Amino acid sequence: MTGVNVKSEIGPLKKVILHRPGNELLNLTPDTLERLLFDDIPFLEIAQQEHDAFAQALRDNGVEVVYLEDLMAETIRDNAALRSQFIEQWIEEANVHTDKWHKILHEYLDSEYADAKALVEKTMTGITLDELDIDRTNSLVDLVSSPTEMVCDPMPNLYFTRDPFAMVGNGVTIHRMYSVTRNRETIYGQYIFDNHPDFKGTPQYYSRKEAFHIEGGDVLNINDHVLAIGISQRTEPDAIDTLAQSIFHDERSSIDTILAFDIPNSRAFMHLDTVFTQIDHDKFTIHPGILGPLTVFELTKGAEGKVKVNRLDSDLESILTKYVGQPVQLLQCGAGDRIAAEREQWNDGSNTLCIEPGKICVYQRNNVTNDFLYKNGLELVVIPSCELSRGRGGPRCMSMPAWREDL
């Protein structure tokens, strides 16, 4: 299967991109948690077991699982020039700007990480000063730095493959991220979509070089004509405008309407997919926090290539009913209990990954919500979640579908 095809949130899932959490999680410390967007330090071994269970559950349901680290390794494996270009870019974006340090780091990676996959994983893990074989006695900077200091930061959020890029129909959007720590994650997507034989040639609708931020957790494919995007902590309205221009101008895209949902700017609601996900033709899981009046902007193709914007003051149910084209049912996280709703939403109770209409992958810990979904006729693929959930993302955040069957 080459290229991408994602024209809904629910069409039978055929291929998905994941990242198995790796040593980057070992470089999280209490001091860096906030900056690196974690709330606690996961126990890596268990996080990996949980993640393997997630991947296996998807395979058991007929999904091909491909790993970001393998795609990236395949991209640079037999191309020395590309490998070298990647290393240089990675060092530069890790905030290392002197020739001296570029040289030290480049030589270190080439000598210790000749294998492409080992190199890719190392760039995800980060590098500490004491790994490098350098004479630390003659420069003031080197003398005052602690040997355990990270010269290049880890990228612990990589297992949330939903965010750095997103599939829209047969195209992809490669993102500029909200945070410094996550911005480097999109380097991998850029190399893969420019060079990997399975993905190159995919239309790119947004570039990581754009000025405004947007993240994949905010991008939901409602159907082949309608795309929903959250205006959130992570996604700026200007980015949605830019994206609308480029999608509407591409003849290959069938999207003619973009709905921009204005959601509260808070960590609990960081992306649109933390407050609602589609689980069946006519069903969504939602966080009760977005019930009530809601402002949505409808962007459509206007005259002379301009984007037309229309403000809709309505509520979620009416808006979804209109654009999905049939009455929808909103199933509340926490089953109507306010405390359960907040607790389980914090652990991604409404962040489900739909495998096919009516069948969804959920975190085990959200038992109030899961029980409610089950009673409403959903088929649940339940995965363990004690450690993975410490990064604040659920099954949807941890997966980027590359192929869904059309409905």
Ligand X SMILES: NC(=[NH2+])NCCC[C@H](N)C(=O)O
Contact footprint for ligand X (CB under 6 A): 37, 157, 160, 162-163, 182, 217, 270-271, 273-274, 351, 391-393, 397
At its nearest, how many Å lie between ligand X and the CB of residue 125? 17
At its nearest, how many Å lie between ligand X and the CB of residue 162? 4
User: Closer CB to ligand X, residue 368 or residue 398?
Assistant: 398
At its nearest, how many Å lie between ligand X and the CB of residue 157? 5
Secondary structure of the chain in HEC code, one letter for each residue: CCCCEECCCCCCEEEEEECCCCHHHHHCCCCCCCCCCCCCCCCHHHHHHHHHHHHHHHHHCCCEEEEHHHHHHHHHCCCHHHHHHHHHHHHHHCCCCCHHHHHHHHHHHHHHCCCHHHHHHHHHHCEEHHHCCCCCCCCHHHHHCCCCCEEECCCHHHHCCCCCEEEEECEEEECCCCCHHHHCCHHHHHHHHHHCCCCCCCCEEECCCCCCCCCHHHEEECCCCEEEEEECCCCCHHHHHHHHHHHHCCCCCCCCEEEEEECCCCCCCCCHHHCEEEEECCEEEECHHHCCEEEEEEEEECHHHCEEEEEEEEEHHHHHHHHHCCCCEEEEHHHHCHHHHHHHHHCCCCCCEEEECCEEEEECCCHHHHHHHHHCCCEEEEECCCCHHHHCCCCCCCCEEEEECCC
At its nearest, how many Å lie between ligand X and the CB of residue 171? 19
Give the nearest residue (CB) to ligand X: 217
User: Closer CB to ligand X, residue 9 or residue 273?
Assistant: 273
At its nearest, how many Å lie between ligand X and the CB of residue 263? 12
Catalytic: 152?
A: no
User: Closer CB to ligand X, residue 214 or residue 258?
Assistant: 214
User: Closer CB to ligand X, residue 224 or residue 273?
Assistant: 273
The residue from 333, 354, 361, 397 that is catalytic is: 397
User: Closer CB to ligand X, residue 39 or residue 238?
Assistant: 39
The residues annotated with a catalytic role in the active site are 397
